[in-house]
Amino acid sequence: MVLTISLLTMAYAYAQGMTLVAATQEETIARQKAREALESVITARNDQTLTFSQIANVSNGGIFLDGFTPLTTDGADGLPNTADDGPVETVIEPGPDGILGTADDVNVPLNQFQRRIAITSLSPNLSQITVTIQYTTQKGLRRQISVTTDVSNYI
């Protein structure tokens, strides 16, 4: 009886650990994609690919789409959440052999992820950018990760 209870407890702990690992992977992807989007906007401002007035949502005369959109690849402009974005992003996961970088690796689309870039004007020369990644976990729970920074008209 004691051995059975111990084995069941260990099996439950193992299952919970596997669930935690899966959730951590989703959260890591979300956090990284939010940071990448923010860095893309800042880099485009710094190298003057974008003017300061373009760093706004479409509803305010800028180029960034309003609201949540699928987590797509950047388009020709190299910026996320703009009108020219490509297909849904994918990640490469190990195939049946369990080794990443071999011929059986699998491209997994990030269909459960959405991104929003919200830009708020704080003054004529200062805006706040918030990138939010929203995703659904394997258990069907909705989660969000956000990163925020301020960007000025001055480089």
Q: Can you give the pLDDT of all 155 residues of the chain as single tens digits?
A: 888 888 888 888 877 776 666 668 889 999 999 999 999 999 999 999 999 999 999 999 999 999 999 999 999 999 999 999 999 999 998 999 989 999 999 999 999 999 999 999 999 999 999 999 999 988 888 999 999 999 999 87
Q: What residues does each domain of the chain span?
A: 2-84+111-152
Q: For the whole model, what pTM was predicted? A: 0.82
d(CA 137, CA 5): 30
Q: Report phi then psi at 37, rounded to 5.
A: -65, -45
Note whether 134 and 127 are within 8 A (CB): no
